[in-house]
Amino acid sequence: MIVEMKVPSPGESITEVEIATWLVSDGDYVDKDQAIAEVDSDKATLELPAEVSGTITLKAEEGEAVAVGQVVCLIDTSAAKPQGSAEVKTTEKTAVQTKVEPLGAASASNETTYATGTASPAAKKILSEKGIDPATVSGSGRDGRVTKEDAVNAVPSMGSSTEASDRDSSRTKLSMLRRKVAERLVQAKNETAMLTTFNEVDMSAIFEIRKKYKEQFKEKHDVGLGFMSFFTLATVRALKLFPAVNSMIDGQEMITYNFQDISIAVSGPKGLMVPVIRHAEKLSFRGVEEEVKRLAIRARDGQITVDEMTGGTFTISNGGVFGSMLSTPIINPPQSGILGMHNIVERPVAVNGKVEIRPIMYVALSYDHRIIDGRESVGFLVAVKEAIENPEAFLMNNDIKTALEL
């Protein structure tokens, strides 16, 4: 029996996906639930498992965009699982590699004809736009003709010639996820009145708490006491004080949420991903750290789902892990605000009329000025600052051990 495998729906709003990578070859035998392909949607990369066991016939190419519900492969369930298939494949591969071409084939491919170096009409147009002489382009078509693909890949000469190995370039198609991220970033810049306000935070208090309790916290909860829990809970508090920052524009209306779902920007193998910490307002330090760890691992391993990346009301981005000192983070639409964390550097600061060296982090809030005024944006960032500089009073109710569940 031949089973048609169709693209399942990764989410409500997704109508097409892209075949990122086939994990099997045409004609391979696959087992039920074996991962046969990785597919990119505009929100995540997901694995496509085989529905049944049998011999597979691929019906879509890598990089091809396919609609949800479209047939991408056929599986013949009547085929028996081959014995020693790995050995057979190795033998076949060796045989192909040792195949000798007829003597005439090699000599014929090197012959120069009237067509050698001649560009097709499409190639001529592209080369003309690039200002490249067709005679300088090596043709890969029949009899050495310059094809459209040759013209697209041709690079204009810049200055004196150098060794070819020093001037290599590569052309890689952007994944659907990367294209969607690019589209959303441009959308945020073009469709919002985005402004950024900055402040600096003295991290001394958090350093002292972590120094004193991080080992005990790790031993009891099997998760580290990092900076993200402090910043997430400080953000939750600030969003409650300034609800306009926890709002979104919908046409001519403003939607304000009475809950705080915090998106955290994570760098994964497929690019930027923004999983969501649900109901962060209900989580403790332990709960936030456990959720951050879980989502980061799933994003890194490419297992994050669409549902885990949708519905956030505010975003936190930590560029400090890459060494960034200062940046202007871009809003994650349709949200109206994003908090940027940066690296921590010891700096001289004035404290009670004296100069002291303190661990300082610059923080940035990018916001949509259409619904968030200067008072709310500055007030929000000041609220984050005061909670970080005095977490015992503002985040722990003056009881550190109870707050850390120790």
**Are 320 and 275 spatial neighbours (Cβ–Cβ below 8 Å)?**
no
Which of the residues 133, 222, 301, 369 is marked catalytic? 369
Of the candidates 201, 257, 110, the one whose C-alpha atom is nearest the C-alpha of residue 385 is 201
Rounded to whole angstroms, how far apart are CA atoms 182 and 398?
44
Which of the residues 31, 33, 222, 373 is marked catalytic? 373
Rounded to whole angstroms, how far apart are CA atoms 319 and 325?
8
Q: Is 373 a catalytic residue?
A: yes
User: Could you tell me how many residues make up the chain?
Assistant: 406
* DSSP string of 110-175, one letter each residue: T---TTTTPBPHHHHHHHHHHT--GGGSPP-SGGG-B-HHHHHH-----SS---GGGG-----PPP
Rounded to whole angstroms, how far apart are CA atoms 291 and 263?
11
**Are 192 and 203 spatial neighbours (Cβ–Cβ below 8 Å)?**
no
Rounded to whole angstroms, how far apart are CA atoms 45 and 43?
7
355 bridge partner residues = 350
Q: Is 150 a catalytic residue?
A: no
Rounded to whole angstroms, how far apart are CA atoms 349 and 326?
18
- Distance from first CA to last CA of the chain, Å, rounded? 60
- The residue whose two tokens read 């000469």 is 157
Number of CB atoms found within 10 A of residue 377's CB: 22
Of the candidates 7, 15, 5, 3, the one whose C-alpha atom is nearest the C-alpha of residue 46 is 7
Q: Catalytic residue positions?
A: 369, 373
